[in-house]
Amino acid sequence: MKILNRLILSFLILSSFSSIAQTVKIDALPAGAEIIENSSRNSRAVKINTKDSRTAVLGFLPGYATQGIMASELKTKGVSDYTIKLNKYSKPSKGFASKKIEFAKLTSPSGGDANAEINTFISNNIATAGYTVVGSNKIFSGKSDVADFAVGGEMTWVNSGTAGRGFQVSVLIHWSVFSVAKENIVYEITTGGFSDSRQKSAISEELKLAIADAVNGLVYDPKFQEIVGKKSETVSINAQDAISINKPTLKKFESYSAVVKESIGSVVTVKTNFGIGSGFIISDNGYVLTNHHVINSAEKVEVVFENGFSFEAKIVRSNEDKDVALIKISGSGFKPLVLNASDALNSTGTEVIAIGTPENIKLGQTVTKGIISGKREIDEKIYLQTDVAINSGNSGGPLINTSTGEVIGIVAAKIKAKGVEGLGFAIPIAEAIKYLNLKFE
């Protein structure tokens, strides 16, 4: 009899708990926040049945990040009351700069990908908030010019209803932030979006406004800003910080082929745990110049010569803003290239060659030839434009004046877009010398 009473009591407790968990009262903070049940606005708390898997409730207040929760999530919590707490927008501070972000794609609740128009719309909204957004047809493209972070969105829920002459739309989007250097997801956040413009327009336009609201929840999130924010890097240019480099002797070359033959052994493949780039020897004791983005966040850096010999390298100095880096390998007797920062050697029409490792380490020390096409200012930085063939992996390699055999630039990037060819860019060697504070003796 005692066992039966215990079973009945247990059943009554479980039944009571189940009953409480089926209906949940939901409100939102701060005061003044509206409750959006599916796509209907409510100024007071609402009660929902947690068995309805299609139902979601959002908290909405202009200037705050819209948040929401699915009824199915509340079912697992086993609560009778729930408060959606909204966080005020944390807009980027004055002078904020982000690392390069590429928006990958948005998937729908059915698992399909959103159309290109929606993806472009999201990219533009991220850029409008003050972030550096890159992608196809928008910026340099190539292995070394890949974004620092890729952002993807999964629309886990969407609901719509009619309002006035138009529509009301609600969404929940789960965002994932992928670090290209670390090769993993470094941050995840779910934000809500709501729109009730009361405009007589297509529902697709109202959906865009709801998505824009969800994007705001991401870009005005302080943790997201901290992760993708560009750490300010002040480089002090003075004699105490200078790194002394043994100045190599310049040889005279009788032909273009002689320049190639002499230079090719001084160009190396820079191999990291996440990819390859190029670099070149600038001193007999193992200093190597390359791009910052080639070695950025690398756990291990290795320098591979044309003959197959490889050396572990250490990062000596790097300047993210100017995209230049100095690394060093142990040893001596290396054959360096000579640098020349004179504008006389990089004027428009000057013949140049680029040497590097395009795409694959087996293609190391590939030589391509062209001319200087001009000098351009892009994002407040000066570049040497060239029609030399540049591919993924060429970044960090030298751009060499064929008349003198001297390095006049560091290959940085190319513009990759449909119908666009021959738009490569190199960082003037003067920038590397100055911002890495090198002193040749």
Backbone angles phi, psi at 235, to 5 degrees: -100, 120
Give the residue among 414, 386, 282 at the shortest CA–CA distance from 340.
282
In a 3-state reduction of DSSP, which class is residue 24? Answer: strand
Annotation says 241 is catalytic:
no
* Pairing mode of beta strands 67-70, 324-329: unpaired
How many CB atoms within 10 Å of residue 182? 13
Q: C-alpha distances in angstroms, 369 versus 360, 372, 388, 400, 401? A: 19, 10, 5, 10, 10
Do 34 and 45 form a contact (C-beta atoms < 8 A)?
no
Strands (E), 134-286: 149-163, 166-179, 184-195, 243-245, 267-272, 275-281
C-alpha distances in angstroms, 111 versus 105, 106, 130?
12, 9, 30
The answer to whether the beta carbons of residues 307 and 299 sit under 8 Å apart is no
DSSP reduced 3-state for 131: coil
Q: Which of 141, 195, 293, 318 is catalytic?
A: 293
Is 323 labeled as catalytic in the residue annotation? yes
Active site residue 293: yes
Element holding 20 (H helix, E strand):
helix 2-22
H runs (alpha helix) in 57-202: 71-77, 116-128
What does the block give as tokens for 163? 């309002």
Output phi, psi for 137, to 5 deg.
65, 10
Of the candidates 327, 328, 320, 313, the one whose C-alpha atom is nearest the C-alpha of residue 293 is: 320
d(CA 211, CA 153): 10
Nearest to 206 by CA among 153, 151, 164, 152: 164
Contact, 65 vs 113, CB < 8 A?
no
Rounded distance between C-alpha atoms, residue 337 and residue 330, angstroms: 17
Chain-centroid distance, C-alpha 246: 37
Could you tell me the two tokens for 395? 């970044």
Residue 17: Cβ within 10 Å count: 12
Active-site position among 145, 148, 213, 323: 323
Q: β-strands 438-440, 243-245: how paired?
A: parallel
CA-nearest of 122, 313, 342 to 216 is 122
> Which residues form the catalytic set?
293, 323, 395
